[in-house]
Amino acid sequence: MSIKQKVVVAMSGGVDSSVAAALLKEQGHEVIGVTMQIWRKRDERQETCLPAGKAGDEKSCCSVSAVEDARRVADKLGIPYYVLNFRDIFKKAVIDDFIREYNNGHTPNPCVRCNRFVKFDALLKKVRGLGADFIATGHYARVERNNGSYLLKKGIDKKKDQSYFLYPVSQEALSRTIFPVGGLTKAEVRGLARKFGLKVADKKESQEICFVEGSIGDFFKPQKGDIIDMKGKVVGTHKGYQLYTVGQRRGLGLSRPNPAYVVKIDAKSNKITIGDKGDVYGDDLTVGQMSYIYVNRLTSPMGAKVKIRYNSPETDAEIMPLSQGKVRVMFKEPQFAITPGQSAVFYDGDNVIGGGIIGA
């Protein structure tokens, strides 16, 4: 982007978005910093999307301290800075879905929903209201123009690549998005933060879901139920099916000669099925709510690398179109803990083909 532009940078108070803002300012662009307010203020008494007493914790990337970190970076860079209220859209698009999916016995990825409906939709619309044509974030990913369309590519740092979370971003949004740190490693980003004199240079990364402080159980009213084995025999009692996920081994409270793993969660019967590790492997899955980037849509089977969760390795598979826009994924090797609610994302080399929700 050689032409000087007006760019709004989504600033979380972390090192990545801070360096993104600094790089754009150094390149001569007109930069505006914004932070999305998605948490409940402590002194508010109105209905909230978060459990009382859980929001605004100082360790959260959505906390008051994170806003102050972002504000200090903006002051250091000499750029305008605003905090924008996104609580309503965040509640509807992310938290309500999070609760609904867990109540259905699924394990959702709220970061995917946030990117699709909040950062690269609602925020992008507000960006236009600020007179800017581009939005920038600190994601480790890249956007490349290709014959009139846009490709979403992996970040250069394979350990930090975040393209998995971005597969639902539309072509329109990609055309107006910049990822300034996508061509850098994390070590390089921290080095640049020191060069720019940013106090967040050594700030630790948030590893948890941004709006969850304490236990996921705080969002539900878990009820105890049966734990059954693969033959249907009751072998124990769970604390509430929302507190478990497929592939989980710890916290089951069972005494068995071999480690037990969660194989299935049945929300309707309030039962959890457990088995041996081998019982958790699967050869295929079905994906719904599809989004495509590399192709307009899938019309015939094709080979791809597939990730079934952010921290899982890519694996070889064939993806095949089904009716109603769904896709079947057939793996060359069985995969551990295929989890309904998580995203399956398809790759061709560094390019994101697309992805969708497992079991949707």
Q: In the sheet where 271-275 sits, what is the strand order?
A: 234-238, 225-228, 271-275, 261-266
The answer to whether 139 and 179 are in contact (CB under 8 A) is yes
Residues belonging to the active site: 114, 210
- Judging by DSSP bridges, how do beta strands 141-146 and 149-154 pair with one another? antiparallel
Query: For residues 104 and 70, what is the distance between their CA atoms, to the nearest angstrom?
Result: 37
Helices of type H across the chain: 15-26, 64-77, 87-90, 96-103, 110-113, 123-129, 171-174, 186-195
Query: For residues 143 and 95, what is the distance between their CA atoms, to the nearest angstrom?
Result: 28
Amino acid at site 350:
D
Query: For residues 93 and 97, what is the distance between their CA atoms, to the nearest angstrom?
Result: 6
Query: For residues 307 and 167, what is the distance between their CA atoms, to the nearest angstrom?
Result: 12
Residue 196: both structure tokens together: 């720019």
